Structures are given as C-alpha cells and as structure tokens.
C-alpha cells in the first residue's frame, strides 16, 4: 500500500528523538451502506476511508498522530510530530522490514462487490415483507445492509511488515410494533468476517419474522416487576452481560491503570467454578475474528477464565509493557484515526452441562431474559446495567407472561460468583463494541446461564 523505502523512512524519523518503538498503520477501506425503511430503499452511501497513523513509545507513554494525506511530506511531518512529543535515549538502527506470512483463516468465497446492488435490495425487500406480514401491529421495519473491506498495512521498528484484507458483511433488522400510543421495537444484526455467501445462508423470511414476533409480544407485555430475583439469561446476545460486566475489566487498558476489580487476581477464583470463558479471534469467518490484530500480531484463542479461575487478561503491546503479561493479539482499533488498545474479539462463556428446561425449572419466581439489549459498565467500580429486550416471568419453574422495560443492574465481580448453572446451548451474536480505540466488530456469546440474584429495575 506504501513503498517500503518510504515506510522505513517514516519509522526512522519517528525514532529520531530516541523513542523505544515506532509503528505505522495504513488503511484503505471501502464502505457501503444501504438503508431500507418505510418499505423503500432510502439511502445508499459508498465511501473510501483512507489514512495512516504513526505511533511511538517512550517508556509507558504512547504518542499517536494520524493524517489522511499519505504523501511523503505529510507522513514525515506526522512522524516528526510524534518523535518530538517526548525525548528518549534509545538508538535503534535502521531496520530491514520483512513481510510476514500467515494463513488466511477467514476465506471469502463471494466478494460483495461481485454481487449486484439489486440482489442486495431484493433480499431486504423479502425481509421487510416477512416482517410486516407477520403481524398487523408492525408499523415500521428498518433494514441496514453494510459491507466493509478494510485493507491494512502495519510496519514497525522491530522489522514487522504485515498486510491483510478484512471483509465484513452484516444485515441489521429492527421491527417496530405500535398500538395507540404504545411502541415497542426489537432488532437483530447477524454478520461475519465473511463475503456475500453469508447473506445467501440466511433465510430472509425467518429474519423478518423473528424481530416482528418479539416486538409484537413486547407490545402486549406488562411492565416488569422491580426487586432482586433469580434471572435466567438465554444464549446468544445474552453474552453481553459477560462482555460488559467482565470483559472490559479484563482488558489491560483497565488493568494497567488499576481501574479494574480484577487487578491482581491472576490465578485466583473470580467466578463460580461452573464458569469458563474465552476470547477467541480464530473462529472461522466470525464477526470479531481476525488473522492478525491491528499491531500485526497473529490472533489467538485466549482462555480468560477456566473453571472460575482467572487465567489471562486481554493484552496489547502497550498493555504488555505496563503489566508484564504476554501479548494476546488483542490490539484493535476502529481505523487509522485511533491508536490501538486491548479489546475483545469473540468473547463467550463456554458450554456447560444443563438443559435450558432444567435451568428454568430450578426457579420458583424470577425473570427469563430470552433476548438481551445493550448495556454499559462503569469502569473502576464494575457496576453494570443492561436492558432485557424480550423478557418473561418464571413462575413455579415455568415460563409465564412476557414483561417489558426490565433492566438488570449489578456488579461484574459479584454477578460472576452468582452464576450457578450453565446450559449446553452456546450461541454467538454480533455487536459493535465502543471503547477508547473506537467502535469495532465483536461477538458476544454464551449458553443459557442462571444468576442466583440480580437487581431488576422495572416499573411495578
């Protein structure tokens, strides 16, 4: 993407004030988004993201600059700016960059740009029709089709030269059910690090009906009760609880600052012994998967928690310098506009042995959260909250009436200890995770889990 001589020159310039390390990240990304709502193709946007970021380390200080002018003059000026932001006494000799070879574990069989736009729109029309036909209360359906082909080049003062191309495909569907002044919405967003073959594998009718069904049920639902109850969170997007409440606190960004409840807990029990959790960038064609991270390290399958014992944090290069733990291929960023940071990939709780029915039947009175919505966590305290988008009361071990407006509120460390049963129905779900290095694709996932007690915020 850039001439090797120029890249070497930029790295040398960035090191010229005695820095410990210098890196350049170059990106050329094709973005396409088709928005379908009100039963029509409303907006199409195509565009090119293009730029480079230069980063240097002085001890534990990271300095970053980016530009979207990739001329020699502009890149050298960015390199000069980062080199001058501090002073070091390293003398790193000019290095020879060697191209890194790796296997592409996320092959693409149908590149998106070989598929006609009209085929993509036809798919969206089918989803729209299925959703609207499902129920008279469906008043609006929003469908987004997004494609992103991100070409990256990463080179650094350790001699690394790595290039990769990442092809993302995703479709998002939100159905809104209305009746009088009441409105309820439900959405799904399947996607992958994959080509158009992914869309071909989806059934548009099922996709449209799925969200319509949830919105229609929730429209008729009464408000959730408030109080402390046992909660069964079903598989798939339910994994957002682990992502928010624990995942972020296991990133070295939080650990290095001492702003995590899991600091200093390595090899200690932080979860109920039934819990094993992983962060895996190697799942073939999965939404949060990569070949290499944004620091050019091959991705890996990282066991975070084994039988309740903390086994690893998620570690990027600076995180490794600060904490002493080995890198886990977790350095990720949205684009050249962000310096990389330790981030999640496909993060999930591993399968247990219980059947969903057995977990439900163990609860006298509680909440069954079939689908979860989004959530957030306060770093440092570990306090989290997230919304139940499809919820039901569990009464005498059976799923009873639907409830809406429930929010689960708790503390990550506390909730991990209170997970008492784990199902055998592991499923992954796709999301966009926002943090210091921008918004990136990640999978959340889990089988059904039971949390013995959690605060439910409802209106009754």
Partner 1 sequence: MYKNEFKIIFDYAKDKTDDIEILLSAGNSFSIRINEQNIESFSYADSKGLSVRVIKDGKTGYAYTEKFDEEAFKLIVDEALENAKYTEDDEVAIMENHPDIDVELKMYDEKLNEVDVKDKISFAKDLEKYAKAADKRVFNVPYAVYGDSTGYVKIANSKGLDKEEKQNSAFSYVGALTQLDDDKRMGVEFNVGRDFSKFDAKKMAEKSVEKSAALLGGEEVTSGSYPVVFNNEMMATMLSTFSGVFSAKAVQEGRSMLVGKMGQMVANEKVSILDDALHPKGISSRRFDSEGYSSQSTVLIENGKLKSFLHNTQTALKDGVKSTGNGSRSYKGSLNIATSNFILKPGTHKESELLAAKDKVIEIVALQGMHSGANPISGDFSLSGEGFLYENGERKHSLKQFTVSGNFLQMLNDVEMIADNFKFNMSSYGAASVLIKELAISG
Strands 427-435 and 438-446: antiparallel
Q: How far apart are CA 260 and CA 397, in angstroms?
A: 36
Q: What span, in angstroms and rounded, lies between the C-alpha atoms of 368 and 390?
A: 9
- Report, in Å, the least distance between residue 457 CB and partner 1: 3
| Stretch touching partner 1 by CB under 8 A, among 16-24, 305-313, 359-367, 377-385 | 377-385
Q: Which residues contact 154 (CB under 8 A, 6 or more apart)?
A: 23, 24, 25, 26, 160, 161, 162, 163, 292, 294, 295, 296
Report how far residue 92's alpha carbon sits from residue 443's, in angstroms, rounded to the nearest whole number.
39
Among 16, 135, 226, 424, interactor with partner 1 by CB under 8 A: 226
Nearer to partner 1, 43 or 353 (CB): 43
Would you give the distance in Å from CA 427 to the centre of its chain?
15
**153, β-bridge pairs:** 26, 163
The residues with which 342 forms a beta bridge, in sequence order, are 331
Single out the residue of 339, 359, 421, 454 in contact with partner 1 (rule: CB under 8 A).
339
Choose the binding region for partner 1 from 5-13, 68-76, 266-274, 291-299 (rule: CB under 8 A): 68-76
Shortest approach of partner 1 to residue 137 CB, angstroms? 12
Task: Check binding of 380 to partner 1 (CB under 8 A).
Answer: yes
Which residues, in sequence order, are CB contacts of 324 under 8 Å at separation 6+? none
Strand 407-411 to strand 383-395: parallel, antiparallel, or no bridges (unpaired)?
antiparallel
Q: Which of 7, 26, 65, 194 binds partner 1 (CB under 8 A)?
A: 65
- The stretch near partner 1 (CB under 8 A) out of 58-66, 230-238, 283-291, 419-427 is 58-66
Q: Which is nearer to partner 1, 175 or 282 (CB)?
A: 175
Q: Which residues in 29-48 contact partner 1 (CB under 8 A)?
A: 31, 34-35, 37-38, 40-48
Distance CA 88, CA 74 (A): 23
According to CB under 8 A, which one of 18, 51, 298, 397 is a site residue for partner 1? 51
Q: Is 1 in the site for partner 1 (CB under 8 A)?
A: no
Mark the segment that binds partner 1 (CB under 8 A) among 276-284, 343-351, 360-368, 383-391: 383-391
Expressed in angstroms, the distance from the first to the final Cα of the chain is 59
Neighbours of 182 (CB within 10 A): 12
Cα gap 143→119, rounded to integer Å: 14
Q: Is 60 in the site for partner 1 (CB under 8 A)?
A: yes
Instruction: Give residues 245-264 in contact with partner 1 (rule: CB under 8 A).
Output: 257-259
Among 10, 82, 255, 440, the residue binding partner 1 under the rule CB under 8 A is: 82
User: Looking at 155, 176, 231, 305, which residue binds partner 1 (CB under 8 A)?
Assistant: 176
**What's the rounded Cα separation, in Å, for the pair 53 and 453?**
46
Residue 303 CB, nearest approach to partner 1 (Å): 27
Instruction: Find the length of the chain.
Output: 460
Candidates 232, 453, 430, 422; CA nearest to 344 is 430
Q: In the complex with partner 1, which residue's Cβ is closer, 27 or 280?
A: 27
Task: Take residue 37 and report the two structure tokens written for it.
Answer: 């709502």
Residue selected from 166, 371, 404, 418 as contacting partner 1 according to rule CB under 8 A:
404
For the CB of residue 347, give the shortest distance to partner 1 in the complex, in Å. 18
Question: In the range 270-329, which residues lie near partner 1 by CB under 8 A?
Answer: none
Under the binding rule (CB under 8 A), the answer on residue 21 touching partner 1 is no
Shortest gap between Cβ of 456 and partner 1 (angstroms)? 8
List the one residue from 89, 114, 118, 396 that touches partner 1 (CB under 8 A). Answer: 118
* β-pair type (449-457, 419-422): antiparallel
Task: Dihedral sign for Cα 338, 339, 343, 345, please.
Answer: positive
Compute the least distance from the CB of residue 267 to partner 1, in Å: 23
């Amino acid at each position: 993407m850039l001439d090797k001589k120029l890249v070497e020159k930029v790295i040398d310039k960035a090191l010229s004030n005695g820095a410990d390390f210098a890196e350049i990240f170059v990106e050329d990304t094709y973005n396409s988004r088709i928005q379908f709502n009100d039963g029509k193709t409303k907006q199409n946007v195509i565009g090119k993201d293009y730029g480079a970021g230069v980063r240097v380390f002085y001890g534990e200080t990271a300095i970053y600059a980016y530009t979207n002018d990739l001329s020699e003059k502009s890149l050298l000026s960015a390199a000069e700016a980062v080199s001058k932001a501090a002073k070091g006494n390293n003398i790193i000799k000019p290095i020879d960059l060697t191209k890194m070879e790796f296997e592409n574990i996320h092959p693409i069989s149908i590149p998106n740009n070989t598929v006609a736009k009209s085929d993509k729109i036809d798919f969206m029309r089918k989803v729209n029709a299925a959703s609207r036909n499902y129920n008279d209360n469906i008043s609006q359906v929003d469908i987004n089709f997004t494609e992103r082909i991100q070409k990256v080049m990463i080179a650094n003062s350790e001699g690394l030269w790595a290039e990769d191309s990442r092809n993302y495909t995703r479709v998002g569907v939100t159905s809104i059910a209305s009746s009088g002044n009441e409105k309820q919405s439900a959405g799904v967003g399947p996607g992958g690090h994959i080509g158009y073959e992914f869309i071909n594998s989806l059934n548009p009718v099922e996709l449209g009906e799925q969200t319509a069904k949830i919105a229609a049920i929730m429209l008729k639902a009464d408000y959730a009760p408030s109080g402390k109850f046992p909660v069964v969170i079903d598989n798939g997007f339910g994994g957002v609880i682990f992502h928010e409440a624990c995942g972020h606190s296991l990133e070295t960004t939080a650990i290095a600052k001492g702003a995590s409840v899991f600091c200093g807990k390595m090899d200690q029990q932080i979860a109920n012994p039934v819990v094993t959790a992983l962060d895996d960038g190697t799942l073939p064609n999965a939404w949060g998967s990569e070949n290499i991270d944004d620091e050019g390290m091959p991705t890996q399958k990282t066991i975070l928690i084994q039988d309740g014992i903390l086994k690893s944090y998620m570690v990027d290069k600076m995180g490794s310098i600060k904490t002493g733990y080995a890198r886990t291929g977790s350095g990720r960023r949205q684009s050249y506009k962000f310096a990389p940071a330790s981030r999640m990939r496909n993060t999930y709780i591993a399968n247990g042995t219980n059947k969903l029915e057995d977990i439900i039947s163990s609860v006298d009175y509680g909440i069954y959260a079939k689908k979860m919505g989004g959530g957030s966590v306060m770093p440092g305290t570990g306090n989290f909250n997230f919304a139940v988008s499809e919820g039901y009361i569990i009464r005498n071990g059976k799923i009873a009436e639907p409830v809406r407006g429930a929010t689960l509120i708790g503390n990550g460390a506390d909730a991990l200890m209170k997970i008492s049963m784990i199902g055998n129905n592991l499923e992954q779900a796709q999301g966009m995770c926002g943090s210091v290095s921008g918004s990136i694709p990640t999978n959340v996932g889990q089988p059904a889990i039971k949390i013995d007690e959690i605060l439910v915020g409802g209106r009754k």
